[in-house]
Structure 1
Amino acid sequence: MGISVKRAAILLLPIVLAACAGGDDGRGIAFDDDRGGVNQPFPDNYRAELLAFMRTYLNNPVGVHDAALAQPVQRTVGGRVRYVTCLRFTPRESDGSYRELRERAVLYVNGRLDRMVENASDVCAGAVYTAFPELGKLTR
């Protein structure tokens, strides 16, 4: 019982395509080239991008208290240079109460919001915060 040539070609196609997609330098494929060096562009729209992200990140984006934001600064995170902005806020819980103040680091790659880091104490050490009232005005 042999396998047909056509069936073998169909089975090997994903492997062949994966091999073609990789670069010669051994790096993976990324939508946006991660420069990772000191030439990261400043995230010009960081406030608007952060507000859009927080609308989806928070279970209830309405009624956030004590929102404060630090200006983006370059820091080395995970061995790569990133623009990082630090955020403090007290979200409204599902029962309507407010609990502890939270601190998060928001990382930018190539000028765009990449991810939020929940354990931000090291990354945000020494951050200078200013009021971020826009976060407290979010709606659903």
Structure 2
Amino acid sequence: MGRLAKRAASLALILALPLTLTGCFGSDGDRPSLMEGAQAGGPQPFPDNFRGDALALMRAYLNNPVGVRDASMADPVLREVGGRQFYISCLHFTPRETDGSYKVMRERAIVYVNGRADRVVDRAGELCAGAVYAPFPELEKMAR
């Protein structure tokens, strides 16, 4: 193999590396989700520990889990996400901002896969349409 061919092959490998690594990490660098895997096939079980799972997920999701106000949660219901049926639970809450102030109430949806909380959906409008909320004081009592 000539010197020029070796250089071209090396360059092609270097340029292909980012594309290969992108496949390993999923879209936009998000953590892998069971939603896309074969493990999520078939009917989804009801998430029996949905409140505890939601708290654990929100503790990781929020930059500062302390000082949340006006928290409420809807019981999980089946909704279509990505062409499949998953249990979704909706949350309303007002997080404390980094400067200590409170701004607008937020609505988020939690997607459960195989009975466990898998991810938080920021744009929850359609997923949470018609949700019936009840107080969720556990979210307001979170600590670091």
- Scaled to the shorter chain, the TM-score interval is 0.7 to 0.9
Q: In the alignment, is residue 118 of structure 1 matched against residue 83 of structure 2?
A: no
Instruction: Indicate the RMSD between aligned Cα atoms, in angstroms.
Output: 1.7
Deviation at 1:77, TM superposition (A): 1.4
- Matched residue, 2:107: 103
TM-score, normalised to structure 1's length?
0.75
Q: Structure 1 regions of 5+ residues with no counterpart?
A: 2-28
- Matched residue, 2:80: 76
Q: In the alignment, is residue 138 of structure 1 matched against residue 134 of structure 2?
A: no
Find 1:53's aligned residue among 51, 54, 57.
57
Distance in structure 2 (CA, Å) of the matches to 1:58 and 1:116: 10
Q: Structure 2 regions of 5+ residues with no counterpart?
A: 2-35
Other structure's SS at 2:51 match:
helix
- Matched residue, 1:34: 40
TM-score, normalised to structure 2's length?
0.73
Distance in structure 1 (CA, Å) of the matches to 2:118 and 2:128: 17
Distance in structure 1 (CA, Å) of the matches to 2:77 and 2:52: 17
- Which amino acid letter does the alignment assign opposite residue 90 of structure 1? T
Deviation at 1:54, TM superposition (A): 1.1
Distance in structure 1 (CA, Å) of the matches to 2:98 and 2:78: 35
More helix by share: 2
Query: Post-superposition, which runs of at least 4 consecutive aligned residues in structure 1 deviate over 6 A?
Result: none
Other structure's SS at 2:60 match:
helix
